[in-house]
Amino acid sequence: MRDSIERHETRQTKTADLHRMVMEDHVCPYGLKAKDSLERKGLAVNDHWLKTRDETDAFQRENHVETTPQIFIIGECIGGYDDLREYFGQEVKDEDEATYQPVIAIFSVALLMALVFSWAAFGSLLTVDAGEWFIAISMCLLGIQKLQDVESFRTMFLNYDLLARRYVRYG
């Protein structure tokens, strides 16, 4: 039902107003995604650029919103990018939702690298060395993941490393 309503609304309106930040040193990625999504749904987009922080703040005050981009269809404020996805019946991911995709990607890449190394070294994919390389590469890639938030890792490290508990600077 939502699809038929969506198609009817799209045919009827054909235009959307998008207010997004496009500044000299910053272009809002969610504004770009919103513009693309609207265009893929067949709407003509009136793209209003907020070129300064003052313009952005004034727009937010005027429209009683806390974020940009903001999308309006038939004068109705849809909201930001996540609200637009919801409006079109698309999945909206919860910020706190856990996902295993990064870990799966890390292990997949590690496995492929180990197999390539095995093929290059021995002319065979499945070797004992390939298994060892898989473990070694996996550990390296997982270690690199920890560098994304060193302070958080350091704090977590204090929970399980006995030496770090005794000598906090070690952690």
Band (169; pLDDT cuts 50, 70, 90): confident
* Residue range 72-105, pLDDT digits in tens: 998 888 999 999 999 999 888 877 777 788 889 9
Q: For residue 3, how far is the Cα from the chain centroid? A: 26
Percent of the chain whose pLDDT exceeds 70:
91
Q: Which pLDDT does position 156 carry in this prediction? A: 76
Band (4; pLDDT cuts 50, 70, 90): very low
Cα-based distances in Å from 87 to 6, 68, 73, 103, 141: 9, 16, 10, 31, 38
Q: Which pLDDT does position 99 carry in this prediction? A: 79
Mean pLDDT of the chain: 86
The pLDDT of 141-170, averaged and rounded, is 79
- Its pTM surpasses 0.85: no
Can you give the residue ranges of every domain in the chain? Answer: 2-87, 101-170
φ/ψ of 13, rounded to 5, equals -90, -50
Band (137; pLDDT cuts 50, 70, 90): very high
Q: For residue 122, how far is the Cα from the chain centroid? A: 39
- Regarding the domain delimited by 2-87, which CATH topology (the fold level of the hierarchy) does it fall under? Glutaredoxin (3.40.30)
